[in-house]
Amino acid sequence: MSTVTVVSYGAGNVASVQFALERLGATVRLTADPVEIADAERLILPGVGAAGYAMARLSELELIEPIRTYGRPLLGVCLGQQLLFETSEEGGGAPLLGLIPGTVRKMDPGADRPVPHMGWSALTVTRTDPLLEGVKDGDWAYFVHSYACPDGDATLACADYGGSVPAVVRNGNRWGCQFHPERSAATGARILRNFLDLSA
């Protein structure tokens, strides 16, 4: 049975992530302890709200360095994906974890695409990856976000929302999902199962 540690730092809905993982048979540990995070078999960094607040909380809890140097599978969820990048336009240029190159930018609203992007969007897989095993073009995922990560070498899958929105990213052992896999029905469950199956 897989064991997964979820970073519980006051900037993410950890309960829904925990329940989704437990439904898949995982043993889940919620923690903000730097030692437990450094020793985790695999790690999930959730997040909702503002990037600056999330980074401030990680700093207060002395979690930035353990996450930056973490060497096993790590999955950032929603804001957690954005935190993997270098900076965010939010709050005048918030510094992030710097694990993936690029700046997270505010999404442009349109007549048929209000911001935040909230609801179901279809995925387009742009690169094969173990995290996306069994996920097909057109599979649906549930998004809630106002900022989008840059499209680049790290992008594994996109959604269309007035332009290409990176929905899944990877750099080495660090993955991110812009959407909420814990709220994305069969697609999200498959991705979480794939994450649990990654070699630690």
Active site residues: 78, 180, 182
Taking every pair of Cα atoms in the chain, the longest distance, rounded to a whole number of angstroms, is 48
Strands 3-7 and 27-31: parallel
CA angle, residues 163, 169, 170, in degrees to nearest 5 = 155
- 14-23 vs 185-197: helix axis angle to the nearest 10? 80
CA 173 – CA 184 distance, rounded (Å): 23
User: What is the Cα gyration radius of the chain?
Assistant: 15
d(CA 123, CA 136): 8
Tokens representing residue 89 in the block: 């336009």
Give the CA-trace dihedral at 63, 170, 145, 87, to 10 degrees: 60
* Element containing residue 197 per DSSP (H, E): helix 185-197
Q: Which residues pair with 60 in a beta bridge?
A: none
